[in-house]
Structure 1
C-alpha cells in the first residue's frame, strides 16, 4: 500500500456573486473529483487550527505531522533549500519577489508581470553585489520559479528577527526593514537588507532582460523585495518519523524546500511554473511513474495554480484551472491501485480576499478499505457532511499511515 497526499494549493474559497453564489470549486465541472468523493470518505480540515490563517509553509508542515509552532522559523530557509542552495546553521534566508519599481521607488507590480524568463541572468548580476561596510557578509541570490527568488545572508553577527520589505500592495515603496527584538544583530541585518533593496534597483534597472521587457511593454524585474526571514531550522526526517520511503513532487521552491528539510527525495519536473499555465501532463506523468516504478511508498504532491488565481482575484481562471486538474490529473489518479489518496488544499485563497484565509478546506480520502460515506460531490459545502467531519492538518499523517497499515498500536 502506498500513500499520496495531494495538495491543491489555495483551492478553498468563498461563495461569489459572479459564480451564482458558488465557490470556484462548486462551480467547476469536476466529474473525477466527484467520483472520488462518491467512493471515498470526506470532510473538512483546518490546516493548523480553526480560524488560524495558514501560510503554505506552515500548512504543509502541519499536514506532514510537524508542529509549525516549534519548527517554523520563517519561509526563507525552505525557499532557499527548495531551489538547491545548501543552507547551513547560521545562515539567514529570505523569500524574495522580482518586482517592478518606477523612478520614484514606487512598486508598480509586486510580481514583475509574473515574469517567466530571464531571471537567472538578472541573478547573475545580483550575485556580484557587495555592500559597503558589510564586506564580511556573503550575499547569495538564487532564482526560483516565475517571479520568485531567494536571498541568503552568510556571516557573523546576523539575525532573522527583522521585518519584511514587501509592501504587500502596489502603489507604495518597499517597507523599511526594522529589527523586531532590538538586538544589535537584528539592527545590523535590517540595515543591510535596506541597502540590498536599494542596491538591487541600481544594479538591474538597465539590465538587458529588463530593457527587452520594457520594449515589449512588460513590467521590468528591476528590484528585489525580501520577506519571510528565517534561520535554518532543525526538522526530524519524515522517513524516520513514520517509517516510510518518501518523495516530494512539487513545482515551487517553497514546497520542495519543505520536502528537502523533511528528508524527502525531491522529484524535479520540466516545464512547470507554479501557475495556471503549468504543464499538468508532465506533473501527472511524473506522479504515475513514481508510484508505479519506484520504491517510494509515500508522496507529497503540490499543484499550485489555483492559489495563483486566488491571489490575482480571478474567479474564472481559478474555476477553469480546477477543471483542468480534474480532467488531466484526477482522471488518471482514479485508476491507481493499492493507494491511499488524500486530496485536499493547504488553505483557502478566496477571490474576494486575494490572500489566504482561515476558512477550512475540503478533504477526500480514497483507499481500498475506507469507510465510504454518503457524499457524492467534492466542494467546500458537500464534504462538510462527510464521515471525517472536521479534522486538523496534524491529523493527516496519522490517518494516512493507519490506512496504509503502517501505524503502531498505542498501548498494550
Structure 2
C-alpha cells in the first residue's frame, strides 16, 4: 500500500457574507473532493492544537509526526535546504522577500509585484556581497520560487536570536533588526543584517532587471527583507522514524526544505510556481508517475489557495480550489493507496493571513469506515467519523491503516 497525504496550502477559510455565508471551499464546485467525502471518513484537524495560528512550516512538521515545539528553530533553515543550499552547523539561515522600496525607504510592495522571472540574476548580484566591518561573515544568497529567497550567513560568532526586518505591511519602512538577547553573537548578527538590507537597495535599485520592470510598469525587486532566523534542527530521518520509503512533491522551497531535512526524496516539477499560475498538469503527472515507483509514502503540497487567501482574492481562491479538484480526480484513481486530503491551515479571505481555525480532512482507501458526510468542506467535515484530531495524529492513523504501526502493549 502507498500512503499519500495531499495538503492544499491555506485552503480552509471562514464564511463570507458576499457568498451567502459560505466558505470558498463550500462555494467552489468540487465533485471529486465531494466523492472523496462520500466514500471516506471525514473530520476536522487542528494542525498544531486548537486556536494556534500555524505556519506552513510548523503545520507540515506536525503532520509528519514531529513536535514543532522541539524541532522548529525558525523558517530560514528549511527554506535554505529547500533551494538546495548545503546548510552547515553554525550557519544562520533566513527566508527573504524580494520587495519594492521607494526612494524614501518605504516598502510599497512586500512581494515585488509577485515577481516570477529573472530573480536568479538579482540573486547573483547579492550573493557573496561583502559587508563593511564584517568581512569575516560570508553572505550566501539564493532565489527560491516567485518573490521568495534565502539568505545564509556563515562565520564565527553568529546567532539566530535576532528579529525580522519585514514590516509585515506595505507603507512602512523595513524594521530595524534587533538582537533578542544581550549576547555578542546576537548583537553582531543584527548589525550584519541591518547593513545587508541597506546594501541590497543600493545594489538593486538600478539593476537591469529592475530597470526593465519599471519600463514595463512592474514593481521592481529592489530590496530584500530577511526574516525567520534559525539554526539547523536535528531531526530523526522520516524513513527511519516510520520504516517508509518516502518522497515529497511540493512547489515552495519551504516545504521542499522540510522534506530534505527529514531525509525524504524531493521531486522537482517543471512549472510548479507556488502560485495560482502553477502548472497543475505537471504536478498531477509527477504524482502519478512517482506513485508507480518504489515509494510507499508521498507528501504533496499545492500552494495557490494560500496565495489567493493572502491577497484577499475570493474569486481566485474559488477558481483555484476548483482546479485542484481535477487533480484530486486523477489521484483518486491510483490503485492500492490510502489517500488523505487536507489543508495545513486556514487562510481566510477576510483576514488575509493564517488563523487558528481547524481544517477539513478526509481519508479514502481500503476498509475505511465510511461515515455519512457527503461534501468536503469545513462545516460538513465536523459531522465525520474522525471527529477532531491534531496534525500529529495523522501519521499514526495512516500507519495503522497501512498495517505498519507497532502494537502498544501486550
Task: Please indicate, yes or no, whether the TM-score normalized by the shorter chain is above 0.5.
Answer: yes
1:70 aligns with 2:70: yes
- 1:309-324 correspondence to structure 2 within 5 Å: 309-324=308-323
TM-score (norm 1): 0.99
1:386 aligns with 2:384: yes
Higher alpha-carbon deviation: 170-179 or 334-343: 334-343
Preserved CA contact (<8 Å) 2:97 2:149: yes
* 2:187 counterpart residue number: 187
* 2:146 counterpart residue number: 146
* 2:239 counterpart residue number: 239
CA distance in structure 1 between the aligned counterparts of 2:19 and 2:191, rounded to whole angstroms:
47
CA distance in structure 1 between the aligned counterparts of 2:52 and 2:31, rounded to whole angstroms:
31
The alignment's C-alpha RMSD in Å is: 0.5
CA distance in structure 2 between the aligned counterparts of 1:263 and 1:168, rounded to whole angstroms:
32
1:361 aligns with 2:363: no
Q: Give the paired residue count.
A: 410
- 1:32-181 correspondence to structure 2 within 5 Å: 32-181=32-181
Q: Residue deviations 1:339-397, cap 9 Å, x none? A: 01111000000001100000000000001111000000000000100000000000000
* 1:302 counterpart residue number: 301
Q: Residue deviations 1:153-172, cap 9 Å, x none? A: 00000000000000000000
Q: C-alpha displacement at 1:401, in angstroms?
A: 0.7
Q: C-alpha displacement at 1:334, in angstroms?
A: 1.8
* 1:352 counterpart residue number: 350
CA distance in structure 2 between the aligned counterparts of 1:304 and 1:60, rounded to whole angstroms:
13
* 2:218 counterpart residue number: 218
Query: Structure 2: which 5+ runs fail to align?
Result: none
Q: C-alpha displacement at 1:128, in angstroms?
A: 3.9
| SS of the residue 2:113 aligns to | coil
CA distance in structure 2 between the aligned counterparts of 1:230 and 1:45, rounded to whole angstroms:
27
- 1:334-353 correspondence to structure 2 within 5 Å: 334-353=332-351
CA distance in structure 1 between the aligned counterparts of 2:404 and 2:283, rounded to whole angstroms:
27
* 1:250 counterpart residue number: 250
CA distance in structure 2 between the aligned counterparts of 1:351 and 1:199, rounded to whole angstroms:
35
Q: C-alpha displacement at 1:140, in angstroms?
A: 0.3
* 1:30 counterpart residue number: 30
CA distance in structure 1 between the aligned counterparts of 2:40 and 2:395, rounded to whole angstroms:
17
Q: Residue deviations 1:187-238, cap 9 Å, x none? A: 1100110000000000011000000000001000000000000011111101
